[in-house]
Amino acid sequence: MEEYSSVSPVVLVHRPPAMDFIDEPLSHSFTVLYTHTSPEPLLDFLSSNASSVRAVVSVGRLPITAEFISNLPSLEIVVCASVGFDHVDLDECRRRGVAVTNAGDSYGEDVADLAVGLLISVLRRIPALDRYIRSGQWTRLWDYPIGFKLDQKKVGIVGLGSIGSLVAKRLEPFGCIISYNSRSPKPDNVPYFYYPDILSLAADNDILILCCSLTDETHHIVDREVMETLGKNGIIINIGRGGLVDEKEMVKCLVEGVIWGVGLDVFDNEPEVPEELFGLENVVLSPHSAGMTAESLKNVTEVSVANLKAFFSDQPLIFTV
């Protein structure tokens, strides 16, 4: 019998009610509690179980605040079933000595797929064409919305990490001309041109695809100046975090024709979405679902459970923050 199972550590799952994909695999190895099933207010529930909870599994990016953490004095690890961890108070975790892990590359392939899907949908106006047929307008030829080709488009990737690199590889066969901005240049074997700042990247590209993490430095990295620099034919695809874009200015730029279109999987104040976007034909929206495939959820479940087992067996963690 493995060492971790002899004690059966108590794991608290903090998730939206519908996101139950991780429940059964966790229950095979751990004693599992759920915040969403408690009739008590959240902080009261945490206090009631304060002495027993040694791990928290965060699903769906519900906030793990300093107050949340302070109510769990026995907490040793937070396992994020997501790549992003900006919903976790890392400073408080560090102060308390609480380990934090994330999903690593579990979602990478599917997030990259959706980035390309959003881009093609915006360029070729696929949702608008779908609405055109469903509304019964297809009664004459050549009166439907016309889009643009992807071949030879100049694409700037903001954040050429694991996901950004997967996006770039998918765009190469389309004939796209790819460049990027990251904290520092990649090794010489990376075949894309590096721009040291996002303004110069926007100036020389038709499309910006946002793949970077949300930090204090990247918050609203795409502001009005960047959008004006990208220009009236420019497209923004965001599969990173909503806070990377100044959302209010983006709406104004779309309405005013400062940029041509956007494809968004993430928003500044999810699940709230600016209503002005709903009536715009050059906008394609997705409900933060880039990684939501059966295959990715299986991957992230395996990684999350493996991280917990490793932690409680004093083995190296798979992905640490």
Active site residues: 241, 270, 288
pLDDT at 98: 97
- Name the residue among 290, 289, 291, 262 with its Cα closest to residue 274: 262
Same domain? For 175 and 210 the reply is yes
Tell whether the model's pLDDT for residue 55 goes beyond 90: yes
Same domain? For 101 and 113 the reply is no
Same domain? For 177 and 46 the reply is no
For residue 42, the domain's CATH number is: 3.40.50.720
Please state the rounded mean pLDDT for residues 162-187: 96
Same domain? For 278 and 196 the reply is yes
Q: For the segment 258-285, what is each residue's pLDDT rounded down to a tens digit?
A: 999 999 999 999 999 999 999 999 999 9
Could you tell me the two tokens for 133?
């047929």
In a domain, 54, yes or no: yes
In a domain, 318, yes or no: no
Same domain? For 255 and 113 the reply is yes
Give CA–CA dist 271/268, Å, rounded: 9
Confidence bin at 7 (pLDDT 50/70/90): low
Same domain? For 226 and 210 the reply is yes
Same domain? For 95 and 38 the reply is yes
Overall domain count for the chain: 2
In a domain, 99, yes or no: yes
Q: Which residue has the higher pLDDT, 7 or 125?
A: 125
Please state the rounded mean pLDDT for residues 4-19: 83
pLDDT at 321: 87
Please state the rounded mean pLDDT for residues 129-139: 89
In a domain, 235, yes or no: yes
Tell whether the model's pLDDT for residue 2 goes beyond 60: no
Positive or negative torsion for Cα 43, 45, 50, 55: negative
Positive or negative torsion for Cα 205, 208, 209, 211: positive
In a domain, 180, yes or no: yes
pLDDT at 91: 96
List Cα–Cα distances, 291 to 175, 191, 265, in angstroms. Answer: 25, 26, 10
In a domain, 317, yes or no: no
Contact 276, 282 (CB under 8 A): no
Same domain? For 120 and 101 the reply is no
Please state the rounded mean pLDDT for residues 1-25: 80
Same domain? For 91 and 127 the reply is no
Same domain? For 112 and 102 the reply is no
Same domain? For 304 and 251 the reply is no
Give the whole-number percent of the chain exceeding pLDDT 70.
98
In a domain, 64, yes or no: yes
Q: For the segment 81-110, what is each residue's pLDDT rounded down to a tens digit?
A: 988 888 999 999 999 999 999 998 899 999
Confidence bin at 201 (pLDDT 50/70/90): very high
pLDDT at 3: 43
Tell whether the model's pLDDT for residue 290 goes beyond 90: yes
In a domain, 100, yes or no: yes
pLDDT at 104: 86
Tell whether the model's pLDDT for residue 240 goes beyond 70: yes
Same domain? For 166 and 301 the reply is no
Q: How many CB atoms lie within 10 A of CB 185?
A: 15
Distance of CA 40 to the CA centre of its chain: 30
Range of the domain at 208: 108-285
pTM of the full structure: 0.88
Please state the rounded mean pLDDT for residues 298-308: 95
Alpha helices in the chain (DSSP H): 3-7, 23-27, 42-48, 66-70, 90-96, 108-124, 126-134, 162-171, 198-203, 224-230, 247-256, 294-312
- Name the residue among 176, 125, 170, 173 with its Cα closest to residue 150: 176
